[in-house]
Chains A and B, each alone.
Chain A
């Protein structure tokens, strides 16, 4: 069955290009939807969306992703990831709450809304601890706080210079990881591939230049990936784990996951596996529609 797939984007990165190539090679019809050029009517879907079987949200901007996914769902067009998943993953507070609620081990975290209470949270954790923006990615604006004076300065800067979201202080224990973390790409909890990201820097993000290598998941990691995926509503996800002793902690689940670094690190054809999954999602959505009709 050939599909009509919408690719919602604002930039075509290598990740999107890999997906586009795979979709076209399988003769699926692809409509690229530049979110910057699109308007969304609350009452009716734009003509450009006619006949879409499924939409893949690859927006770079979280705010656009959150609204656009709601519109597609309102129009009755299946979208991956779902708005629910995007909503939980886009916000670190919601992400942490969902993981904790599902019983997934995740770093101890406190949230405060004033400099004074944030300072109390930091003092309770002791030094070092970590302050992260609630919305953001690629390791930007993350602060490892080594001392009281550093904490005071960072909180002052955030409260004075930041957007209102920076007045939500997300304080987390500093996890002593072995110089690396693990990124797992998974579809509805089924891992496609995993890699370790190693760096001398405490932020081991591929976007920050960490070195990557393939990683074999053990049974515990596999179970955690499934549980973490379920906790945020499933979808195509990037699940980040850190090793602590013989075990793991899940610090984050990403919903518009980049996979080019992983594609370079592993032998699995990631785009092909993602498109296999997309075809399954579109089929399931069509079946559901038939049953409803």
Chain B
């Protein structure tokens, strides 16, 4: 468990957390980026850029 940086709600995290992964806050819907795993730290994920894609 850690806290959503947007709304402060608790965010549950799975075991195989990976730095760079995006987690959705189930309370406010914010996209959160995992910036550290030990201990887990979340930050707001970057906004979509125009040249993103596959």
Contact = CB atoms under 8 A, between A and B. Distances in A.
A25 B53 CA distance: 28
Contacts, number: 57
B51 A135 contact: yes
A32 B19 contact: yes
B52 A60 contact: yes
A63 B53 contact: no
A117 to B, nearest CB: 24
Interface residues of B, number: 16
B20 A10 contact: yes
A17 B21 contact: yes
A61 B53 CA distance: 7
B15 interface: no
Interface in A1-58: 9-13, 16-17, 20-21, 32, 34
B21 A137 contact: no
Given A11-B20, A138-B53, 13 more contacts: A10-B46, A11-B22, A12-B18, A12-B22, A32-B20, A61-B49, A136-B51, A137-B53, A137-B54, A138-B52, A163-B50, A238-B54, A257-B54
10 contacts: A12-B18, A13-B22, A60-B52, A61-B51, A136-B50, A136-B51, A136-B53, A137-B54, A138-B54, A163-B50
